[in-house]
């Protein structure tokens, strides 16, 4: 197995646009719930996107007793220029992972769970079976638990993957409602530079299929500060609404390491407020916008 901690491409010669502004820096706090969340994650040998993607909100979210569980290991088959998750050829698979997720959720007494994963283009169903089994285990333990999925685009197997997950939702006891997210991340003109191996239209197709399912709200997220234009961002908003998306997260791109794509611009809080107003005017019913907002930030709201 070959695993790299940095992207296939190297942007280390390119500097960020300037110093990180004061409004982006997060105060550190570790309350009792932070320790409880960390122990539950470690004792059950689980991965979280909070750790693997170096999320700036980990301190806050873990102190609130919330975490986003990352299924299917810690190695991704794609090499996105913005992402801190390791890239390589995965050899990890564990059929027992759904049960261990459910045990951790029960121990933490969570009412809302976010499930995401690395891209597993090496698997026939893209890992959809693990998503499906995890949903089943969670609802078996707590029928009314809130669940949010943040899935890959399931390249080459979208219909099969969506059918597996949808059937798990329908057959599970209790509440069939959930949020199904898939992030477009950036504007189409930057895809080849930012999202290697992904395709903007394929992501929209994924969201169309998710939003067409009964009792499911579709969600997406965009990073800003990668050299996108205001007009391009508004066009993505329009495309997402046409795809049936009703929930939207907007955040500042922050460079994980010097090997990743540099920040081209730091947006002010006022600019995020303006984008939020535009999104709400277009019909999005749930909008979170701000420099430190990430796709699962305050998802339980």
Choose between 51 and 275: higher pLDDT: 275
- Which of 14-28, 30-44, 206-220 has maximum average pLDDT? 206-220
Choose the weakest-confidence range: 27-41, 137-151, 166-180: 27-41
For residue 30, the SS3 value is coil
Q: Encode pLDDT of 144-178 as tens digits.
A: 999 999 999 999 999 999 999 999 999 999 888 99
pLDDT, tens only, 94-105 = 899 999 999 988
What predicted TM-score, i.e. pTM, was given to this entire model? 0.84
Share the mean pLDDT of the chain.
85
Q: Which residues of 4-36 are buried (b: 16+ CB within 10 A; e: fewer)?
A: eebbeeebeeeebeeeeeeeeeeeeeeeeebeb
Distance CA 184, CA 98 (A): 26
Q: For residue 98, which of 125, 127, 65 has the smallest C-alpha distance?
A: 127
Residue 71's pLDDT is 93
Tell me the pLDDT tens digit for each residue of 56-73.
545 555 455 566 788 999
Backbone φ and ψ for 42, nearest 5 degrees, come out as: -70, -40
pLDDT band at 294 (very low <50, low <70, confident <90, very high): confident
Please provide the CATH number assigned to the domain covering 3-289: 3.20.20.70
């Amino acid at each position: 197995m070959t695993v790299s901690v940095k992207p296939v491409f190297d942007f280390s010669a390119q500097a960020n646009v300037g110093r990180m502004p004061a409004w982006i820096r997060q105060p550190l706090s570790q309350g009792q719930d932070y320790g409880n969340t960390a122990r539950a994650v470690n004792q059950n040998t689980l991965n979280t996107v909070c750790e693997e993607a170096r999320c700036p909100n980990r301190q806050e979210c873990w102190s609130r007793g919330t975490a986003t569980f990352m299924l299917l290991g810690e190695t991704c088959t794609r090499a996105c220029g913005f992402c801190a998750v390791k890239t390589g050829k995965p050899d990890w698979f564990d059929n027992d992972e759904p049960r261990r997720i459910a045990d951790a959720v029960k121990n933490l007494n969570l009412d809302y769970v976010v499930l995401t994963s690395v891209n597993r283009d090496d698997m026939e169903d893209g890992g959809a079976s693990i998503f499906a089994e995890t949903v089943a285990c969670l609802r078996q333990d707590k029928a009314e638990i809130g669940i949010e999925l943040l899935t890959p685009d399931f390249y080459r197997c979208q219909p099969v993957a969506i059918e597996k997950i949808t059937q798990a939702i329908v057959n599970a006891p209790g509440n069939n409602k959930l949020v199904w997210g898939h992030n477009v991340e950036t504007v189409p003109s930057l895809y080849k530079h930012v999202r290697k191996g992904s395709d903007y239209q394929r992501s929209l197709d994924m969201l169309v299929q998710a939003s067409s399912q009964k009792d499911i709200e579709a969600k997406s997220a965009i990073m800003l500060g990668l050299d996108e234009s205001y007009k391009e961002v508004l066009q993505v908003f329009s495309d997402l609404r046409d795809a049936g998306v009703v929930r939207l997260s907007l955040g500042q791109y922050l460079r994980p390491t010097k090997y990743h794509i540099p920040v081209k611009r730091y947006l002010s809080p006022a600019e995020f407020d303006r984008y939020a107003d535009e999104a709400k005017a277009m019909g999005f019913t749930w909008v979170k916008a701000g420099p430190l907002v990430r796709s699962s930030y305050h998802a339980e709201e």
